């Protein structure tokens, strides 16, 4: 099925009443989650995966994807009204969004953020639909050695580009890979690293790791925010729309930001934060009024918002076409795919065309729903900000407990998630990125499987990993990503970009 | 200093992981590598990452303290309190049942983070627990423990 037919077929599936309902639930929930400072899309998706148990996988994935891009869509609201990004990717929106709000232009900032997100999101989904098919066809030629080098490339890039220190990124990835080896070895049936605990024989569930590392550890950040009294929202005043002059300045920024965002999303490891930063820097460079940036320039809101939303579409490219996640959030979504018994990757377009095209088309529908929901209801959503953060953090702990227990109905998982929550807190305090750990947990099984299959084919010779042009190319890409990261981190400007400083 | 301690701790963990791997029985069964090879590679890479961090620290490239997120000393006892309270909640989760344990757990936390509003805190704790129980138990068919309420 080519892309145009795929989109048409997918739209028919996404327009089914049940799927429409779950897409709506997803984008609505994502928007709400984005209004909870500290709780990002990864934590939100991980917390809500248990709510999809027993659902039709297509509807469940439409809902989870909706949470992801809904979160990105709404992340601007806390950035503009609270001076705190709702998720890390909205960090650049703070720079000009909050000054606009302080000047009484909160309505214009919120409206341009919503319109930018809609335009970039819609263009991004189109690009996703047209890029994913040829990429999946190429990936069908991959054998175990090529898959091993592909996963290695994804892990290397994520380790090298996330956070300030390559060593810490590598450390987090290796800890994730080590966690993935706990449990019964699938080929020999041998128990590995189970510490004699029968609960660990079935492997450590990624959901337990994700909820612990993202949601429970973020509670500690909320505690700090609550007790330091840093959460005070600016109230929305005036008309929720922008002027003609503001639109004239914003639309080129939306197109540039959207393009930057899609390409960053399609490169594993770069993620929404870097795409937002790159688009902001680009906009400031090309602007005739660079002095206004940081003081309420509307381009400074439009470009990063467009970039983060196009980035989510880019991140889906290799999740759907190659079975490799492009960001922490798509890693969690990939975990959900696996939980439903679906292996994302090149075969998905042939084996589950309804699911994959329905999911892609649901993003068009979701973007329209987000625009329709966000503009008139922005005031209503903003009210979530006025709910005491102390109440929200307590409710998150309550949701996490019910969600984790519901997965396997064993209290052991609750303790394990709490341990990962403590580890996540330590990671945050020690500046160790958490994204690579989740990548390691999710991809560890696949990496080991492809490694062992390749070595079996070659009768134990590691030369198989340099035996095909694709494998050599991917290994070279891994080396280049590490080299480029080392070079970039020596330069103060790019170092700041990569670390979010 | 902080990163040097981290590197040392990770190195110890990596060695312990490699030792545990070495103790796994070798069962090759047509697989030339067996169950030990991949974890061995992971353990070695973890050890290398600890060495790299130590080298980064020596070269003075560790994160400046200003960029690291700092927790004020006043937060640590509060976070420790939440941790202990959460462990106590998990300990009675099945015996007391989801409804009773969660209402008490949430109410206790709300008394700290939403001070002085006992009536609304009680309503929030009970309302949330009832809603969560309804969603998980009735809609999703998840068997949440009922404890003494299972009559």
- Which residues in chain A have their CB less than 8 angstroms from residue B52's CB? 166-167, 170
Q: Do B62 and A165 touch (CB under 8 A)?
A: yes
Q: How far A493 CA lies from chain B's nearest CA (Å)?
A: 15
Q: Who's near A87: CB < 8 A, 6+ residues apart?
A: A34, A40, A41, A71, A72, A75, A272
Regarding predicted confidence, which is higher, B27 or B98?
Answer: B98
- The 10s digit of each residue's pLDDT in B128-142 is 999 988 888 877 777
Q: How far A26 CA lies from chain B's nearest CA (Å)?
A: 16
Q: Which helix (H) or strand (E) holds A191?
A: strand A191-192
- Interface residue of B114, B116, B125, B139 to substitute, partner A, most A CBs within 10 Å: B114
* pLDDT at A254 (0 to 100): 94
- Which residues in chain A have their CB less than 8 angstroms from residue B14's CB? 174
Q: Do B33 and A414 touch (CB under 8 A)?
A: no
Q: Do B142 and A429 touch (CB under 8 A)?
A: no
B140 → closest Cβ in A51, A391, A411? A51
Looking at the DSSP bridge assignments, the partners of residue A191 are: A184
Determine the residue of chain A that is closest to B117 in CA distance. A391
**Confidence band of B68 (pLDDT split at 50, 70, 90):** very low
Q: What is the CA radius of gyration of chain B?
A: 24
Closest C-alpha among A65, A66, A501, A93 to residue A319: A65
* Cα B66 to Cα B62: distance, rounded to the nearest angstrom: 11
Closest C-alpha among A61, A63, A60, A55 to residue A28: A63
For A111-142, b/e burial (b = at least 16 CB within 10 A) is bbbbbbbbbbbbbbbbbbbebbbebbeebeeb
CA distances from A276 to A102, A283, A303 (A): 22, 11, 7
**Confidence band of B67 (pLDDT split at 50, 70, 90):** very low
Q: How far A469 CA lies from chain B's nearest CA (Å)?
A: 24
DSSP assignment string, A247-263: HHHHHHHHHHHHHHHHH
Q: Do B102 and A401 touch (CB under 8 A)?
A: yes
- Which residues in chain A have their CB less than 8 angstroms from residue B143's CB? 409
Q: Do A190 and B43 touch (CB under 8 A)?
A: no
* Conformational region of residue A500, where left means phi above 0, alpha means psi within -120 to 50, and beta covers everything else: left
A223 → closest Cβ in B78, B124, B135? B78
- The 10s digit of each residue's pLDDT in B99-115 is 999 999 999 999 988 88
Count of CA atoms in the C-beta half-sphere (13 A) of A266: 19
A224 → closest Cβ in B30, B43, B71? B71
CB pairs under 8 A between A and B: 199
* pLDDT at A493 (0 to 100): 57
* pLDDT at A234 (0 to 100): 66
Q: Is the dihedral of CA B40, B41, B44, B50 positive or negative?
A: negative
- Which residues in chain B have their CB less than 8 angstroms from residue A489's CB? 61
Q: How far B48 CA lies from chain A's nearest CA (Å)?
A: 8
Per-residue pLDDT tens digits of chain A, which is 501 residues long: 688 899 999 999 999 999 999 999 999 988 888 877 657 788 889 888 888 888 899 999 999 999 998 888 877 887 888 777 767 678 788 889 888 888 888 888 888 998 999 999 999 999 999 999 888 888 888 899 999 999 999 899 888 877 778 899 999 999 999 999 999 988 888 899 999 899 999 889 888 998 898 888 878 877 876 655 555 566 666 677 788 999 999 999 999 999 999 988 887 666 777 888 889 988 988 988 888 988 889 999 999 999 999 999 888 988 999 888 877 888 899 999 988 889 898 889 889 999 999 999 999 999 999 988 877 777 777 777 777 778 888 888 888 898 888 888 899 999 999 999 999 999 989 999 888 898 899 999 999 999 999 998 998 899 999 989 999 999 999 999 888 877 877 765 555 555 544
Q: How far A6 CA lies from chain B's nearest CA (Å)?
A: 32
Please, what is the average pLDDT of chain B?
86
Is the ipTM above a cut-off of 0.85?
yes
* pLDDT at B64 (0 to 100): 47
For A390-410, b/e burial (b = at least 16 CB within 10 A) is bbbbbbbbbbbbbbbbbbeee
* pLDDT at A239 (0 to 100): 74
């Amino acid at each position: 099925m080519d892309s145009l037919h795929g989109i048409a077929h997918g739209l028919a599936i996404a327009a089914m009443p049940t799927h429409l309902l779950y897409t709506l639930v997803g984008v609505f929930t994502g928007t709400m989650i984005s209004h909870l400072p500290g709780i990002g899309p990864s934590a939100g998706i991980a917390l809500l995966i248990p709510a999809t148990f027993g659902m039709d996988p297509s509807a469940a994935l439409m809902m989870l994807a909706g949470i992801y891009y809904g979160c990105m869509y709404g992340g601007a609201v806390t950035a503009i009204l609270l001076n705190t990004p709702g998720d890390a990717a909205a960090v650049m929106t703070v720079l000009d969004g909050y000054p606009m709000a302080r000047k009484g232009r909160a309505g214009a900032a919120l409206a341009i953020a919503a319109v930018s997100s809609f335009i970039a999101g819609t263009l991004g989904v189109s690009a996703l639909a047209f890029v994913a098919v040829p990429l999946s066809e190429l990936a069908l030629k991959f054998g175990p050695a090529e898959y091993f080098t592909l996963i290695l490339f994804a892990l290397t890039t994520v380790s090298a580009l996330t956070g300030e220190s390559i060593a810490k990124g590598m450390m987090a990835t290796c800890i994730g890979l080590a966690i993935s080896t706990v449990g019964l070895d699938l080929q020999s049936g041998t128990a590995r690293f189970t510490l004699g605990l029968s609960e660990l024989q079935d492997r450590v569930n990624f959901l337990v790791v994700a909820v612990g590392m993202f949601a429970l550890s973020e509670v500690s950040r909320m505690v700090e925010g609550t007790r330091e009294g840093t959460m005070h929202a600016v109230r929305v005043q005036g008309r929720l729309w922008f002027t003609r002059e503001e639109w004239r300045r914003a639309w080129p920024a939306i197109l540039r930001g959207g393009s930057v965002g899609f390409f960053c999303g399609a490169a594993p490891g770069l993620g929404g934060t870097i795409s937002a930063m790159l688009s902001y820097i680009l906009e400031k460079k090309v602007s005739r009024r660079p002095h206004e940036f940081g003081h309420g320039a509307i381009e400074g809101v439009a470009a990063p918002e467009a970039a983060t939303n196009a980035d989510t579409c880019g991140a889906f490219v290799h999740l759907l076409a190659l079975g490799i996640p492009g960001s922490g959030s798509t890693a969690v979504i990939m975990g959900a795919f696996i939980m439903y018994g679906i292996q994302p990757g090149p075969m998905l377009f042939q084996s589950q065309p309804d699911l994959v095209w329905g999911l892609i088309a649901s993003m068009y529908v979701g973007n329209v729903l987000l625009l329709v929901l966000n503009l008139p209801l922005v005031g209503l959503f903003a009210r979530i900000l006025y709910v005491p953060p102390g109440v929200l953090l307590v409710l998150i702990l309550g949701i996490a407990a019910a969600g984790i227990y519901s997965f396997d109905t064993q209290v052991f998982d609750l303790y394990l998630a709490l341990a990962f929550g403590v580890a996540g807190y330590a990671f945050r305090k020690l500046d160790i990125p958490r994204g690579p750990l989740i990548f390691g947990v999710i991809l560890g099984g696949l990496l080991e499987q492809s490694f062992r299959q390749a070595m079996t084919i070659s009768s134990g010779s590691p030369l198989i990993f340099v035996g095909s042009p694709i494998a050599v190319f991917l290994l070279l890409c891994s080396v280049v990503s590490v080299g480029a990261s080392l070079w970039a981190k020596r330069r103060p400007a790019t170092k700041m970009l990569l670390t979010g400083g | 200093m902080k990163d040097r301690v981290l590197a040392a701790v990770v190195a110890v963990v990596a060695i312990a992981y490699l030792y545990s791997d070495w103790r796994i029985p070798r069962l090759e069964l047509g697989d030339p590598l067996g169950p030990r090879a991949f974890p061995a590679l992971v353990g070695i890479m973890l050890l290398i990452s600890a060495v790299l961090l130590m080298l980064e620290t020596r070269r003075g490239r560790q994160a400046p303290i200003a960029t690291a997120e700092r927790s004020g000393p006043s937060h640590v006892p509060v976070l420790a309190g939440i941790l202990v309270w959460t462990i106590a909640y998990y300990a009675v989760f099945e015996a007391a049942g989801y409804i009773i344990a969660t209402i008490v757990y949430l109410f206790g936390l709300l008394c700290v983070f939403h001070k002085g509003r006992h009536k609304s805190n009680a309503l929030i704790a009970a309302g949330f627990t009832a809603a969560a129980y309804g969603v998980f138990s009735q809609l999703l068919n998840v068997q949440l423990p009922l404890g003494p309420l299972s009559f």
